[in-house]
Amino acid sequence: MTAQSYGAPAPRLGLPNILRMGLFQGCLGCLAVIFAGLMNRVMISELGFPGLLVGAALACEQFVAPARVLFGQLSDTHPFAGRHRVPYIWLGAALFCTLAVLSVPLIFRVAGLLGGGEPRALAGAIAALCGLFAAYGLAISMASTPYLALLIDSTDEQERPRAVGIIWCLLTVGIVVGAIATAIALRGLDGVTDPDLLEPVLVQFMARVAGVILAITVIATLGIERPRPEPRSAARLLQNSAVAQRPSRDDAITLRQCWALVTSSRQVLVFFLFLVFFTLGLFLQDPVMESYGAEVFGMSIAATASLNAFWGVGTLLGLMGAGLWIVPRLGKFATARLGCQLILGSLALLLLAGITAQVTVLQVVMVLFGLAAGVGTNSALVLMLDLTLPEAAGTFVGVWGLAQALSRALGKVVGGGLLDLGRWLQFQLTGGTDPFPAYALVLGVELLVAATALVLLSRVNLRQFREDTGRSLTKVLALELG
């Protein structure tokens, strides 16, 4: 049970521990760019996998996102040695590190069968590959959902914006470190396509990465969560809500009861939809951004890859600025509105930059877009952590994480689909081959999505959420005791 759950204020985490916790988020970013990027590159370019197979297999990681709700609820109700969060973080980290290493030999096994293996054996290997990526996604969910709940447990509302800003800055740093580490470690493999040469090097590289990430995860979270021997009982929760004084029972809040809490307020649905549209408004262009630079601006492969660096610099500045300065002065909702408005403006500039076809203009706009993304992300994350009940923090964080994961997966599919639709429409209507109109369609739809997020944000009411879910908690626990 967290301090908040007993009616006491949350402890202040302190800058050293915030930085320590940020190391774990950085590890997630580092592994994500190494795992997804390396798998994508090796499977398609070196091993000749069909693109559809690669996309479907990698998407399995996102398709298991609903499990975030379950893992959040488990961390709320089933502690180990009095700790509700850290054991799940460690177990999830051990699993996703192990699965990342095991994925390398498996993709080479599938590649061998693609070259002329038995259809039945090939189907089994593909199913195993998809299952491994799904299990990897489950392990990420097991670690990351309790991690966010631990952040709620360990910070008060005043400290949270700063903590979120610093921690998500370290996530961005982790992504950059992962990309650089991959480029340096594997630079000797350029042009190598022989599986017998590739496999041992990639297995060794992934094993080293996994070992380092697992060690950092343990260091980052060791001692952050204090053991709490009190049982997470329904009676104790009800007593602390000052509704009744009855003898306690060691019955934890069940998944059914947690779902009753989640569905008790219309505000949950409103904020869920806000997160979906907000995330789509940030990442709908992501799968086509590099081709936008190549086809519309005539940029080289290396130059288009550098667009992520420009975006990342802006994001770091936005995250830090929002966490340390903007949110404390303007407040969470005002900063979130500002972030959405800046994202709308940045998308409009990104669209207009295509008319100029000037590389410098695109690079400046990417920095501004990253700045807007950082401001919006910080405030959205702070709201996400505030829109929880301490008694079911893990469950609510799981629901919010589900919204983000599903919208990221949807963005990958819809972004590419809109580009194809735009090209088809242009050919049907004009017969022309100018690439800009198709990308303008993607960015135009993304503008509408971001505008919808801004409208939904105006309907989010933190006070109404707390009143609705507080009444539901009282009702649920009273029935449990009754």
The DSSP annotation for 21-88 comes to: HHHHHHHHHHHHHHHHHHHHHIIIIIS---HHHHHHHHHHHHHTTTHHHHHHHHHHH--BTTBSSHHH
Place of tokens 């959902």: 145
pLDDT digits over 131-164, tens only? 998 999 999 999 998 998 888 888 877 777 788 8
CATH 1.20.1250.20 maps onto the chain at 14-229, 253-477
Residue type, 405: A
Tokens (6 digits) for 398 = 């799981």
What mean pLDDT is predicted for residues 233-239?
Answer: 46
Q: Return the axis-axis angle of helices 119-154 and 51-63, rounded to nearest 10°.
A: 40
d(CA 184, CA 90): 28
For 253-306, the DSSP string reads PPHHHHHHHHTT-HHHHHHHHHHHHHHHHHHTTGGGHHHHHHHHH---HHHHHT
Per-residue confidence band for 316, with pLDDT thresholds at 50, 70 and 90: confident
As a whole-number percent, the residues of the chain with pLDDT over 70 amount to 82
Q: Which fold has domain 14-229?
A: Growth Hormone; Chain: A; (1.20.1250)
For 339-375, the DSSP string reads HHHHHHHHHHHHHHHHHHT-HHHHHHHHHHHHHHHHH
pLDDT digits over 291-314, tens only? 788 888 988 755 776 777 788 788
Q: How many CA atoms lie within 13 A of 330 on its CB side?
A: 18
Say if residues 145 and 402 touch (Cβ distance below 8 Å): no
DSSP character at residue 8: P
Say if residues 133 and 254 touch (Cβ distance below 8 Å): no
pLDDT digits over 421-462, tens only? 888 888 888 877 788 998 899 999 999 999 999 999 999 988
Length of the chain in terms of residues written: 482
What mean pLDDT is predicted for residues 89-112?
Answer: 92
Of 365, 344, 341, residue with least CA distance to 355: 365
More confident residue, 60 or 337: 337
pLDDT at res. 285: 85
As a whole-number percent, the residues of the chain with pLDDT over 90 amount to 26
Least confident of 78-92, 213-227, 256-270, 448-462: 256-270
CB atoms within 10 A of CB 370: 25
What mean pLDDT is predicted for residues 45-67?
Answer: 74
Of 323, 136, 135, 140, residue with least CA distance to 217: 140
pLDDT at res. 362: 94
Per-residue confidence band for 243, with pLDDT thresholds at 50, 70 and 90: very low
More confident residue, 84 or 471: 84
In the predicted model, is pLDDT for residue 2 greater than 60?
no
Beta bridge partners of 83: 80
What mean pLDDT is predicted for residues 326-352?
Answer: 93
Of 148, 168, 213, 172, residue with least CA distance to 403: 148
Name the average pLDDT for the chain: 80
Say if residues 271 and 465 touch (Cβ distance below 8 Å): yes
CATH number of 253-477: 1.20.1250.20
Least confident of 88-92, 114-118, 271-275: 114-118
In the predicted model, is pLDDT for residue 183 greater than 50?
yes
- 153: Cβ contacts below 8 Å, ≥ 6 apart: 2, 3, 4, 10, 84, 85, 225, 390, 393
For 79-143, the DSSP string reads -BTTBSSHHHHHHHHHHHHHHHHHHHHHHHHHHHHHTT--HHHHHHHHHHHHHHHHHHHHHHHHH
pTM of the complete model beyond 0.85: no
Beta bridge partners of 80: 83
In the predicted model, is pLDDT for residue 476 greater than 70?
no
pLDDT at res. 352: 95
Residue 194 phi/psi, 5° resolution?
-70, 115
Q: Phi-psi region for residue 226, left (φ > 0), alpha (ψ -120 to 50) or beta?
A: beta
